[in-house]
């Protein structure tokens, strides 16, 4: 949620920034400013009435002690009128604050200066590449056929047990999943991220805190009886560790990593591009989350991008990094870099990570602050990234390293899997 003071102080800059998202926010921002002005005017009048009522209360007591009952009675009548006014103003304030909150919740984060305008993924910028995309024969097997041939992933069994988008990993396929999770976690902890194991379900306040609610409500699985949401990413519970927390400036940054299964309804996803592991309703992912000082967040974003790039290089996967345009960014993001790996059999790029800086957008919702050297409470910046999501990494490893009989695994995984190839 945008900071109200920033909207007051930087109205035109925010309106211009939101145009990068193809959002004409002029009228909406003006509504926010008008609602805020009403709120402040009501608050001022309410405070004045309360002060006057308190003052009258003291005067009435003094007059009664002095036996001046008629004068006290006149003030008591005025006090009653003030109490009625206070009640009405309190109701008006509550209603105006709710209107203001609802308006603020409709406004996405303002893109950072480096983010370019754009309407879709076609307008994203390629900012780096590594490796040469492998070229395979036209009859090269896609990963779902390789998985079937080697009997390591059973998509049909998942459909039987649950439904489409819930694969069953078997044998060396299951061992590969576990090996990747452990390798990713070890890679992250060696870089200074503290490993945590968060819950896989969150309450509504947590979904609101990181911006999934109300924006992505339709994409989340919901348990109505318990009023809990299955997490779409570890970002949600881990970042919410810091909800309503005040840190000390010297503690920053906080760097955490977590493995969780992730659950996404992915409503409306159909077609060949979502076959196999390309898009699932349940998948495994290792996440990195950073709580930062505002003046360090973009340097830390660059560090996180290089961290994920190094992880992909260690797996020998050809990748490219895209800086998303305004129209393709998530609701809460100020800047996002996507990592895509080359799928040789499908002859297409597959997204395996997003690394984002949310600036103070999430922290404002979370009331996540730090106390600076002057004793002031200031909002932190929050960042997160996939390090990494497993399904498309596995898809690329299978397709790019299959020789027709076996899949040769990257050397960094050998000690984790206990084998060098899947056959």
Residue 113 resides in a domain: no
pLDDT of 269 above 60? no
Q: How many CB atoms lie within 10 A of CB 51?
A: 11
Residue 214 resides in a domain: yes
The answer on 174 and 74 residing in a single domain is no
pLDDT of residue 61: 80
| Known binding-site residue numbers for ATP | 264-266, 351-354
**Tokens standing for 16?**
């211009």
Question: Which H/E stretch holds residue 286?
Answer: strand 282-292
The answer on 98 and 178 residing in a single domain is no
Residue 114 resides in a domain: no
Q: How many CB atoms lie within 10 A of CB 397?
A: 25
Question: Which H/E stretch holds residue 2?
Answer: none
Residue 271 confidence class, pLDDT cut points 50, 70, 90: low
Residues 6+ apart with CB under 8 A from 195: 185, 188, 189, 256, 257, 258
The answer on 283 and 141 residing in a single domain is yes
Residue where a domain stops, chosen among 105, 139, 174: 105
Helix (H, G, I), strand (E, B) or coil at 419: coil
Residue 327 resides in a domain: yes
Q: Residue 66 belongs to a domain with what CATH number?
A: 1.10.287.40
pLDDT of residue 191: 98
Question: Which H/E stretch holds residue 282?
Answer: strand 282-292
pLDDT of residue 138: 87
Q: Are 338 and 353 in contact (CB under 8 A)?
A: yes
The answer on 42 and 80 residing in a single domain is yes
Residue where a domain stops, chosen among 53, 80, 105: 105
Q: Determine the average pLDDT of the residues in 157-167.
A: 96
Q: Residue 221 belongs to a domain with what CATH number?
A: 3.30.930.10
CA–CA dist 222, 143 (Å, integer) = 31
Residue 59 resides in a domain: yes
Q: Determine the average pLDDT of the residues in 22-33.
A: 97
The answer on 367 and 323 residing in a single domain is yes
Residue 186 resides in a domain: yes
Q: Determine the average pLDDT of the residues in 281-303.
A: 98
The answer on 149 and 86 residing in a single domain is no
Whole-Å CA distances, 248 to 115, 196, 241, 298: 31, 21, 16, 20
The answer on 322 and 231 residing in a single domain is yes
The answer on 344 and 207 residing in a single domain is yes
Residue where a domain stops, chosen among 71, 105, 139: 105
pLDDT of 350 above 70? yes
The answer on 288 and 243 residing in a single domain is yes
**Tokens standing for 117?**
């305008």
Domain extent for 16:
4-105
Q: What is the DSSP string of 219-270?
A: GS-EETTTTEEE-SSTHHHHHHTTTT-EEEGGGPPEEEEEEEEEE---TT--
Pairing of strands 194-196, 201-202: unpaired
Looking up tokens 């490993």 gives 195
Q: Determine the average pLDDT of the residues in 214-238.
A: 94
The answer on 146 and 67 residing in a single domain is no
**Tokens standing for 83?**
């109490």
Proportion of the chain above pLDDT 70, given as a percent: 98
The pLDDT tens digits for 71-128 are 878 888 888 889 999 999 999 999 999 999 999 999 999 999 999 999 999 999 999 9
Number of domains comprising the chain: 2
The pLDDT tens digits for 394-420 are 999 999 999 999 999 999 999 999 999
Q: Are 207 and 257 in contact (CB under 8 A)?
A: no
Q: Determine the average pLDDT of the residues in 265-281.
A: 78
Q: Are 413 and 187 in contact (CB under 8 A)?
A: no
Q: Determine the average pLDDT of the residues in 221-232.
A: 97
| Known binding-site residue numbers | 233, 264-266, 287, 351-354, 384
Reply yes or no: is the peptide bond before residue 214 cis, omega within 30 of 0: yes
The answer on 414 and 278 residing in a single domain is yes
Mean pLDDT of the chain: 95
Residues 6+ apart with CB under 8 A from 296: 252, 253, 381
**Tokens standing for 378?**
């200031």
pLDDT of residue 217: 83
Residue 288 resides in a domain: yes
Q: Are 107 and 26 in contact (CB under 8 A)?
A: no
pLDDT of residue 371: 97
The answer on 167 and 43 residing in a single domain is no
Residue 111 resides in a domain: no
| Known binding-site residue numbers for L-serine | 233, 264, 287, 384
Longest dimension (CA), the chain: 105
């Amino acid at each position: 949620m945008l900071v109200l003071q920033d909207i007051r102080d930087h109205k035109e800059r925010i309106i211009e920034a939101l145009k990068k998202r193809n959002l004409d926010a002029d009228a909406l921002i003006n509504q926010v400013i008008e609602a805020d002005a009403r709120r402040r005017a009501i608050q001022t009048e309410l405070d004045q009435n309360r002060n006057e009522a308190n003052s009258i209360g003291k005067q009435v007591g003094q007059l009664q002690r002095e036996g001046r009952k008629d004068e006290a009675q006149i003030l008591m009548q005025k006090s009653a009128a003030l109490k009625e006014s206070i009640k009405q103003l309190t109701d008006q304030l509550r209603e105006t604050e709710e209107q203001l909150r609802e308006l603020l919740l409709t406004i996405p984060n303002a893109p950072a200066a480096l983010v370019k305008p754009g309407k879709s993924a076609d307008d994203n910028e390629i900012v780096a590449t590594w490796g040469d995309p492998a070229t395979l024969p036209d009859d090269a097997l896609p990963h779902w056929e390789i998985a079937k041939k080697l009997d390591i992933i059973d998509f049909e069994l998942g459909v039987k047990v649950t439904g489409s988008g819930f694969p069953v990993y078997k044998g060396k396929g299951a061992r590969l999943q576990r090996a990747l999770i452990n390798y990713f976690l070890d890679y992250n902890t060696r870089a200074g991220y503290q490993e945590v194991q968060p819950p896989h379900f969150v309450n509504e306040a947590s979904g609101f805190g990181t911006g999934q609610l109300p924006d992505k409500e339709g994409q989340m699985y919901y348990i109505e009886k318990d009023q809990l949401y299955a997490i779409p990413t570890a970002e949600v519970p881990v970042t919410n560790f810091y909800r309503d927390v005040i840190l000390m400036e010297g503690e920053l940054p906080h760097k955490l990593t977590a493995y969780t299964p992730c659950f996404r309804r992915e409503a409306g996803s159909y077609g060949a591009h979502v076959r196999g592991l390309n898009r699932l309703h349940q998948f495994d992912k290792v996440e990195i989350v950073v709580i930062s000082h505002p003046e360090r967040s973009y340097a830390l974003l660059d560090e996180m991008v290089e961290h994920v790039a190094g992880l992909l290089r260690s797996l020998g996967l050809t990748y490219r990094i895209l800086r998303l345009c305004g129209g393709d960014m998530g609701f809460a993001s100020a800047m996002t870099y996507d990592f895509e790996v080359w799928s040789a059999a499908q002859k297409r790029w597959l997204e395996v990570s997003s690394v984002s800086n949310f600036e103070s957008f999430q922290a404002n919702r979370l009331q996540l602050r730090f106390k600076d050297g002057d004793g002031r409470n200031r909002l932190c910046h929050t960042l997160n990234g996939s390090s990494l999501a497993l399904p498309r990494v596995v898809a690329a490893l299978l397709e790019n390293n299959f020789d027709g009989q076996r899949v040769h695994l990257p050397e960094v995984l050998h000690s984790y899997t206990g084998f060098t190839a899947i056959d």
